[in-house]
Structure 1
Amino acid sequence: MTDLPLLVKALILGIVEGLTEFLPISSTGHMIIVGDLLDYTNEQSKVFEIVIQFAAILAVCWLYRERILQVAAGMWRPGPQQRFALNILVAFMPAAVLGFLLHGVIKEYLFNPLSVAAALIVGGLVILWVERRNLPEGCASVDDITWQTALKVGFAQAVAMFPGVSRAGATIIGGMLFGLSRKTATELSFFLAIPTMTAATVLDIYKARDILSFDDAPVFAVGFVSSFIFAMLAIKGLLRYISHHNFNAFAWYRIVFGLIVLGTAYTGLVDWHA
């Protein structure tokens, strides 16, 4: 697959980012693995990943634009909109602080396919364990979340700094452990993605400012559009899916995918980058 034209690689990676960003299967993990398979791991690829991640952020902003506008208009006075905004801020803080402190170390040592594969498998087992517990659902709406619960979910999200864990998965499963319904935990993960991913994008762009180039615009445009479109499809599909199903299918997918990566590495079938 390494001889594919760059625009085709951009299309593939944009689709992968869009489909996986809001599912509990780790978009970062998939980007690392697929990028390795496509041999797209140079300096340009680092900026490219920032751009297509931002496209996914815009997708969730577009789909929830009415609610976001309501919160923006009402967050300055006491009421449900202000409480919702404060809860998102509280939930965002653990990842913001820990991400600022550990971002460089994690990217240097853990951003490789084998670490991702291990995290995919462990995360899958955790999802199966949580689903088997049949937890009671004490909070059926994002408007009913307390700041204490928001903070707990925020610490759960921070675990996803380890690539392969999945930001969406950590937030959703953490939310369910702390009493949120499956739908509420999922929607909270969407809203919490906006400040979390925006902050990560701004930080990454700042660090990559010296390698930004206008010549890369066509490649970035292809990835941006495909990521935006497929992120919207994934969000809508996930909300429909969870209305009738649990997350076991995602757990088994993670486990099988992780085992395939580890198996191909052990047998030498694929020469994964260390």
Structure 2
Amino acid sequence: MKDIIIGLIMGIVEGLTEFAPVSSTGHLILTGHLLNFEGTPRVTTFEVFIQLGSILAVVVLFWKRILAILGLKRNEETDVAGKLSIIHIAIGIIPFCLGGIILYDTIKEVLFRPQTVVITLVAGGILMIIAEKFKPAPSSNTLDQVTYKQAFLVGLFQCLALVPGFSRSGATLSGGLLAGMNHKTAAEFTFIMAIPIMFAASGKDLLESWSQLSAADIPLFATGFLTAFVVAAIAIKFFLNLINKVKLIPFAIYRFILAIVFWIFIL
């Protein structure tokens, strides 16, 4: 029963924060600390596994757009195969993938610690405020207006998320605004671009640690995965409606508050 309760709580936290610009890593570390659920390979593997629940929610919500990107379905909005193509996605993820391959070991060994998360929570919040203050008038108000240049610029900003706590969504949303996307388009591009990245990164970590798990871990992992999937699906729809109204600055302020809480409870 304890595992199921932990799975529910951690799954809710993951689902709520994975695609909001507030750092799911920071929230999972803080929640795990408060639940005394931390510091073991089992916990690390669980946190990776439930991310797949969140990303599955994106696949389910955007399945028509994904098929259009792959050229398997006509875009119902534009009556074409889909102007946002797999080339845009590839251009967006290549910088992140290269950075991950080069810096993976260093990040895991040196940067994956609470002190880093506090710093990046604040740094990410500052970036989001800068993006809101200095963003140009949007030239891309739908996904089909996103250019290769914009996709690449967002990909460069996404590299900031290699550092734990920076928030991939926070980095890419900021990059999208500064590249000339409106808030909703930047958010949708962020969600879709997350699919191959998160599947690849989570899959790698799972393959490396799966042998350390046992059948007794199934209730915890299943509960966390399903909870993250359901909560993320609801959170994504809510966030897409919210982001055009409230913009990024409230999320930046929240990050500053979270950094203070993190400092008090973790450091």
Aligned twin of 2:158: 157
What do the CA deviations read for 1:143-200 (whole angstroms, capped 9, x no partner)? 1222122111111111101111100111111011111111111110010010111111
1:169 counterpart residue number: 170
**TM superposition score normalised by structure 1:** 0.89
- AA at the equivalent of 2:25: T
Q: How well do the aligned residues superpose, as a CA RMSD in angstroms?
A: 1.8
Residue identity matched to 1:233:
I
Counterpart check, 1:100 vs 2:101: yes
Q: Which runs of 5+ in 2 are unaligned?
A: 74-79
Give the Cα separation in 1 of the matches to 2:135 and 2:167.
22
Q: Which moved more, 1:18-27 or 1:141-150?
A: 141-150
Q: Which moved more, 1:139-148 or 1:181-190?
A: 139-148
Is the 8 Å Cα contact of residues 121 and 259 (structure 1) preserved in structure 2?
Answer: no
Q: Secondary structure at the match of 2:137?
A: coil
Write out per-residue CA displacement over residues 130-155 of structure 1, whole angstroms, 9 at most, x where no aligned residue. 21235311111111222122111111
Residue 17 of structure 1 contacts residue 227 of structure 1 at CA under 8 Å; is this kept in 2?
yes
Distance 1:154 1:80, change over 3 A: farther
State the distance in 2 between where 1:83 and 1:18 align. Answer: 26
Output the CA distance in 2 between the equivalents of 1:108 and 1:5: 30
1:31 aligned residue: 28
Task: Give 2:209's aligned residue.
Answer: 208
- State yes or no: 1:58 paired with 2:56: yes
Q: For the structure 1 residues 112 and 145, does the alpha-carbon distance in structure 2 shift closer, same or farther, using more than 3 Å as the test?
A: same
The residue number in structure 2 matching 1:13 is 10
Q: Structure 1 residue runs of 4+, over 6 Å off?
A: none
Would you say the 8 A contact 1:120–1:255 is kept in 2? yes
Find the aligned partners of 2:97 and 2:133 in 1 and give their Cα distance.
31
Percentage of matched positions with identical amino acids: 37
* Distance across 2 between alignment mates of 1:189 and 1:152: 12
| CA distance, structure 1, for counterparts of residue 89 and residue 217 of structure 2 | 34
Q: Distance in 2 between matches of 1:127 and 1:60?
A: 23
Mapped pair 1:189 → 2:187:
no
In structure 2, C-alpha distance between the alignment counterparts of 1:83 and 1:14, rounded to whole Å: 31
Residue segments in structure 1 that go unaligned for 5+ positions in a row? 265-269
**AA aligned opposite 2:209:** A
State the aligned residue count. 260
